[in-house]
Structures are given as structure tokens and as C-alpha cells.
């Protein structure tokens, strides 16, 4: 899977183009880690042998969810990674994998974008779809959608609209003071009494709130609870997470999964947390974990360790969303993921979007990761453009 990083003789990258885009949102998206108002987004285009490939760096406009930001990734990609990727005359073509990995070690989202662009180029060359390359076993995946923080009544109205559109899972953002009341508002509506509802706290709870958090999960005593709890505690609160997993396990033989998002960057993170009993599932986001290759590695790890897996989104453009849909078609994703078209939040997007139909997202079958963006819209939404070619 990671072979894409290896230097292949004769396969050179002749130019790298890095763009900073400013994509308008349909409306602000609020979560415990902050509110996203406009989708500043970095994309990477690699060129070689008369072909090209596109990659998305899904870092958010500000470093709120993780330590990476779009602006920070842009600098790293423009100043360090781009120049390392292009071949210089008289020098061996392109940097080798180990070198790039060192440069990108602390920037999984930047790494993910480069990997996606190189992979897109290779897959287009081979006429192969990403889904086939990753080992997809399904041609469509159930659609799931994430709902930002809002007043309970507004969340219910939003949920009604989204289930009407066919979404099969609602991932509802929560934070202290905005949890039970939202869940109760949903569950007391007959439309959502048995709906698949996940709660995502983005680490907003402290260890002293274990009782409250545990009380949000569906259990024998509370049929109105949630079906999954995503990142209730901050990543460092491993003991609280372990106590939660243990407490939920006592409630029945099909315990509500405690899904790590921010707490897992690497497979080693997931192994360590699983060893301590502090997770029962992982939201696998290609961007957060450093790319699609590592996402597949985590998927395999989840299967081997009996952990639930869900494909997680980062408010990507249609490009990143195409990659997410291909990944989500792997057999180990047993919880419905963040599988919604980018048009759910982007008011304008140069990339073709995923298609929602009959409560499912069709897994893309075309060559490469995604079709090409609309060049005019791309230029119109570009705020910075850097082209890196071999130096003299
Ligand atoms: O915590 O899952 C999260 C978006 C940006 C950063 C973090 C998260 C999210 C979402 C949106 O919840 C999920 C999506 O892209 O559909
Ligand atoms: Mg999350």
C-alpha cells in the first residue's frame, strides 16, 4: 500500500502545484473544538510523464481540531515538500519515502495530501479506481451525516430534514450543557426513537463527568441513549476512557462503542489504547492518520482486534470525499461513517461531488481518486497558487 512512497526509476515528478482555496460554506459548522466559517483548504497537484494527480490536505482553517492548520500545511508543502518531490536535473528523481516521511512526521494531513496526489497519478496511469486499489468490497455505503452544535429544537429540525434526504445515521455534536437535552429532544420524537445516533464531543468532557457521559449511551435502562460515543474525553484522559469502556461493557453483551477520533493518529496509538481497554472503536480519517495507506492499516488493525471502525470525515471537498467513500467500502467499517456529499456544507466546490441516493453513497468507480475539478471554478476559488518546478 505504501509503495507509492518508494522511488520508482523513470517515474519522475516534473512539477508540483499547491493551491490555497477558500470555499464558501452553506452555513457555519460548530463543534466543541471551534466553529468553521469558511473552508480554507489546501490542494496539491503533482505532474509527471504528461499526467497529473490531485491530493487534498484536509487540515482545517485553524489548528483547533488538531495541531495542523491549512496555512501551516501550505508553508510546509510549498517550502519543503514540493521542492523535495520534483526532480532536479542531474539528480535522481524525487525524494525517497523515508526522507519524505521524516519531513512529514508531525504533519499527517500534509502527508495525506501528497500520498493522495501520488496515488491518484499512479491509479490514473494504471486506469484503476481507488476503491479497487484499497480492496473495497461494496459498491455503495450507507450515508451518514454530522450535525453541528445548535439549539435542541434546531438539531431536531435539521435531523428531520436529513433523514428525509435518506441519511441513515446522525452524528450529533455535543458538549457539556448541550448533551442530554439534545439527545432527549431527538429520542422523544418518534422519528428518531430507534434511529442510529452517534454523539461526538471532540474531547469536551473531563474525567469527573464519567457518570454523565456513560449515561448518554443506550443501555437496558435507557433505550433512549446513543448508539456510539465519539471522543468523549480529551485524548490524554486514557483512564477515563477505559473506565467508560468497562462501564458500558457491564451493561450488555453488545456494548455501545467508545470511538476514538482525536486520540488515534497512528496504528501504535490504536494498539496502545486497545491494550488499555480505552477504546472499542476508531473513527478512521485518512487525513488525520497520515493518508489512505495508513487508514487501511488501521482498518486491518480494527478487524484483527475486534474494534468497531467508522470512516471519518473532515469537511473535505468533493476530492477528499471521493477518497472517503472508496475507503468506507472496505469490509471492516461496521459503523456507518461520515458519508455525505461535500455539498452538505460547501456552497461551491471545484470537484464533482459524491451522490446520495436511496440512503447510500455510491462508491466511485472511475480511474484514480476522483474526476478532475472544474478549472474555472478552481481558479475562481484559489487565493494562493504556488508552482514548483525543477531549479536550474
Ligand atoms: O470530530 O469528527 C469530527 C469535522 C472536522 C473536524 C472534526 C470532525 C468533523 C466532523 C464532520 O464531525 C464530519 C464530516 O466531515 O462529515
Ligand atoms: Mg469526531
Pairwise pLDDT comparison (30 vs 130), residue with the higher score: 130
Do residues 309 and 281 touch, judged by C-beta distance below 8 A? yes
- Written as nine digits, the cell of 173 is 455534536
Closest-CA residue, ligand 1 atom 12, reads 146
Residue 4, C-alpha cell as written in the block: 507509492
pLDDT digits (tens, 9 = 90+) for 210-232: 999 999 999 877 789 999 999 99
Residue whose CA lies nearest to ligand 1 atom number 6: 314
Q: What is the residue-wise DSSP string for 32-56? A: TTEEEEEEEEEEEEEEETTEEEEEE
pLDDT band at 97 (very low <50, low <70, confident <90, very high): low
Instruction: Specify the residue with its C-alpha closest to ligand 1, atom 4.
Output: 314
Separation of CA 335 and ligand 2 centre (Å): 14
Of 47, 38, 70, 39, which Cα lies nearest the Cα of 57? 70
Residues in contact with ligand 1 (CB, 6 Å cut-off): 65, 146, 200, 202, 261, 312-315, 338, 340
Confidence of residue 27 (pLDDT cuts 50, 70, 90): confident
Of 40-44, 69-73, 216-220, the least confident: 216-220
Instruction: Say whether pLDDT at 10 is over 60.
Output: no
Q: What is the pLDDT of residue 89?
A: 59
- The closest alpha carbon to 336, from 162, 152, 151, 112, belongs to 162
Residue 9: pLDDT band (50, 70, 90) is very low
Output the pLDDT for position 90: 59
Mark the residues whose beta carbon lies below 5 A from ion ligand 2.
Answer: 200, 230, 261
Q: Is the pLDDT of residue 234 over 50?
A: yes
Alpha carbon distance 142, 291 (integer Å): 22
Q: From the CA of 262, give the closest atom in ligand 1.
A: 1
Across residues 194-210, what is the average pLDDT? Answer: 97
Contact 218, 226 (CB under 8 A): yes
The whole-number average pLDDT for the span 8-35 is 85
Predicted pLDDT at 91? 61
| β-bridge pairing 360-362 and 140-142 | antiparallel
Task: Report residue 33's pLDDT band, with 50, 70 and 90 as the boundaries.
Answer: confident
Q: What is the pLDDT of residues 287-313, one digit of tens each?
A: 999 999 999 999 999 999 999 999 999
- Cell 499547491 found at: 18
Distance 208 CA to ligand 2 centre (A): 21
The residues that are catalytic are 173, 285
CA dihedral 341, 345, 350, 355 (to 10 degrees): 20
User: How many whole angstroms from 92 Cα to the centroid of ligand 1?
Assistant: 40
Residue 92's pLDDT is 55
Between the CA of 78 and the centroid of ligand 2 the distance, in Å, is 29
Cα 129 to Cα 102: distance, rounded to the nearest angstrom: 29
Give pTM, 2 decimals. Answer: 0.95
For residue 238, CA distances in Å to 37, 41, 106, 173, 206 come to 31, 32, 22, 21, 11
For residue 344, give the ligand 1 atom closest to its CA.
16
Mean pLDDT (the chain) is: 93
Residue nearest atom 8 of ligand 1, based on CA coordinates? 314
If you measure from the C-alpha of residue 176 to the centroid of ligand 1, how many angstroms do you get, rounded to a whole number?
18
pLDDT of the residue at 222:
79
Q: Whose CA is nearest to atom 1 of ligand 1?
A: 202
CA dist 272 → 10, 254, 276, 333 (Å): 40, 23, 6, 21
Range 81-108 average pLDDT: 75
- The pLDDT confidence band at residue 1, using thresholds 50, 70 and 90, is very low
- CA nearest 284: which of 304, 259, 305, 306? 259
- The least confident of 26-30, 58-62, 343-347 is 26-30
Amino acid at each position: 500500500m505504501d509503495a507509492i512512497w518508494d522511488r520508482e526509476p523513470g517515474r519522475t515528478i516534473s512539477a508540483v502545484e499547491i493551491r490555497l482555496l477558500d470555499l464558501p460554506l452553506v452555513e457555519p459548522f460548530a463543534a466543541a473544538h471551534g466553529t468553521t466559517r469558511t473552508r480554507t483548504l489546501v490542494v496539491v497537484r503533482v505532474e509527471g510523464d504528461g499526467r497529473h494527480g490531485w491530493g487534498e490536505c484536509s487540515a482545517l482553517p485553524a489548528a483547533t481540531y488538531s495541531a495542523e492548520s491549512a496555512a501551516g500545511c501550505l508553508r510546509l508543502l510549498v517550502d519543503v515538500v514540493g521542492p523535495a518531490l520534483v526532480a532536479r536535473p542531474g539528480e535522481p528523481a524525487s525524494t525517497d519515502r523515508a526522507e519524505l516521511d521524516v519531513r512529514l512526521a508531525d504533519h499527517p494531513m500534509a502527508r495525506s495530501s501528497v500520498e493522495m496526489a501520488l496515488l491518484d497519478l499512479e491509479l490514473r496511469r494504471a486506469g484503476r479506481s481507488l476503491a479497487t486499489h484499497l480492496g473495497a468490497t461494496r459498491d455503495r455505503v450507507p450515508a451518514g451525516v454530522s450535525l453541528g452544535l445548535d439549539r435542541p429544537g434546531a438539531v431536531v429540525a435539521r435531523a428531520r430534514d436529513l433523514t428525509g434526504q435518506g441519511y441513515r445515521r446522525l452524528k450529533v455534536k455535543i458538549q457539556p450543557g448541550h448533551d442530554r437535552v439534545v439527545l432527549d429532544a431527538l429520542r422523544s420524537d418518534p422519528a428518531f426513537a430507534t434511529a442510529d445516533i452517534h454523539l461526538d464531543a471532540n474531547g469536551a468532557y473531563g474525567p469527573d463527568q464519567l457518570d454523565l457521559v456513560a449515561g448518554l449511551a443506550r443501555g437496558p435502562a435507557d433505550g433512549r441513549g446513543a448508539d456510539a460515543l465519539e471522543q468523549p474525553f480529551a485524548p490524554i484522559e486514557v483512564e477515563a476512557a477505559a473506565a467508560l469502556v468497562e462501564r458500558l461493557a457491564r451493561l450488555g453483551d453488545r456494548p455501545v462503542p467508545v470511538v476514538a477520533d482525536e486520540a488515534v493518529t497512528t496504528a501504535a496509538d490504536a494498539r496502545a489504547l486497545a491494550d488499555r481497554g480505552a477504546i472499542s472503536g476508531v473513527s478512521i480519517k485518512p487525513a488525520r492518520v497520515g493518508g489512505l495507506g495508513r487508514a487501511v492499516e488501521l482498518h486491518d488493525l480494527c478487524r484483527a482486534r475486534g474494534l468497531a471502525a467508522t470512516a471519518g470525515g473532515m469537511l473535505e471537498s468533493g476530492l477528499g470525499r471521493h477518497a472517503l467513500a472508496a475507503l468506507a467500502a472496505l469490509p471492516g467499517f461496521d459503523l456507518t461513517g461520515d458519508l455525505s456529499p461535500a455539498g452538505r456544507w460547501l456552497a461551491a466546490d471545484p470537484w464533482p461531488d459524491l451522490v446520495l441516493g436511496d440512503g447510500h453513497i455510491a462508491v466511485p468507480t472511475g480511474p484514480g481518486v476522483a474526476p478532475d475539478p472544474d478549472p474555472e471554478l478552481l481558479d475562481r476559488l484559489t487565493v494562493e497558487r504556488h508552482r514548483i518546478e525543477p531549479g536550474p
